[in-house]
Amino acid sequence: MTTWDPRAYLQFSEVRFRAGLDLLAHIPPGSYRTIYDLGCGTGHLTQIVAERFPGARVTGIDSSPEMLAEARRGFPGITFAKADISSWQPEDVPDLIISNAVLHWVPSRETLLQSLLRMLAPEGVLAVQVPRHFEMVSHSVLTEVVQQSAWPAVLEPLLVAPWASPETIWKLLAPDASKLDIWETVYLQVLEGQDAVLNFMRGSTLRPLLSALSAEDGTKFLATLAARLTTAYPPQATGQTLFPFRRFFLIARR
């Protein structure tokens, strides 16, 4: 079972939340009464959603006890609930479902997208953002290190499968959507500190892999990966590291 570390995740909070804020900025105005934030994590974006739609009942959903504990500590005025989003069912019909950087973790993500859209009230909105950088250098390096490691049978099944193309998602959802807006953005993330790309990945992509290894084996794995990532993403003269990162966005109205 993957153990999430809120502190590691929030280490790059400004970078991580930027795409989420861009997603929120594209949600069309509306009188949303019931809102769910799926994969709410530490609750920071959930709080922003609640502030943007003050008349709505906002609920954050996550499967990680560690993340939910941090969310409840930081934002006691919001309701948070534990659930596996792959099988989650809302208590009330949603007017708006938001999911930021989460659905790529779900193996049956295409089926789930269709299901979430169909859960909405008439004219309801589904807003989704996920990474789509799994063909980029960082993940090519990660895959190679996993395959060359002493634990490929353990680690390979934990690698995240690539997200489908915008065209594929459009064809999937178009039959149930009255309006679809799909786009991608590549952010040139400027990361600080030593082993910056490795540390960024430790807060998200690497969590399932590290949870599957002992502390000693995890240290060995990270040392090998750090060296390969530093070669792929050398620090600039300023000490900063440039890390291009592609994100997929979806706004679907039922």
Task: For residue range 51-71, list pLDDT tens digits in order.
Answer: 999 999 999 999 999 989 999
The confidence score (pLDDT) of residue 2 equals 53
Q: For residue 1, tell me if it sits in a domain.
A: no
Query: What are the φ and ψ backbone dihedral angles of 58, each rounded to 5 degrees?
Result: -105, 130
Whole-model pTM? 0.90
Q: What is the count of structural domains for the chain?
A: 1
Residue 176 is part of a domain; what is its CATH number? 3.40.50.150
Q: For residue 110, tell me if it sits in a domain.
A: yes
- Least Cα distance to 27 among 127, 117, 119, 100 occurs for 127
Residue range of the domain that includes 110:
6-253
Displacement of CA 219 from its chain's centroid (Å): 25
The confidence score (pLDDT) of residue 133 equals 85
- Least Cα distance to 229 among 200, 189, 249, 204 occurs for 200
Gap between the Cα atoms of 148 and 142, Å rounded: 10
Percent of all residues in the chain with a pLDDT value above 70, rounded to a whole number: 94
pLDDT digits (tens, 9 = 90+) for 100-158: 999 999 989 999 999 999 999 999 999 999 999 888 899 999 999 999 999 999 999 99
pLDDT digits (tens, 9 = 90+) for 224-235: 999 999 999 999
State the residue for tokens 């990162």.
Answer: 245
Q: For residue 56, tell me if it sits in a domain.
A: yes
- Segment 181-203 shows an average pLDDT of 93
Q: For residue 14, tell me if it sits in a domain.
A: yes
Q: For residue 116, tell me if it sits in a domain.
A: yes
Q: Where are the beta strands (DSSP E) in the chain?
A: 34-38, 57-62, 79-82, 96-100, 125-131, 179-191, 241-253
Gap between the Cα atoms of 239 and 223, Å rounded: 20
How long, in residues, is the chain?
254
SS3 label, residue 212: coil
Q: State the average pLDDT for the chain.
A: 92
Question: What are the CA-CA distances from residue 157 to residues 74, 152, 202, 204 (Å)?
Answer: 34, 8, 18, 16
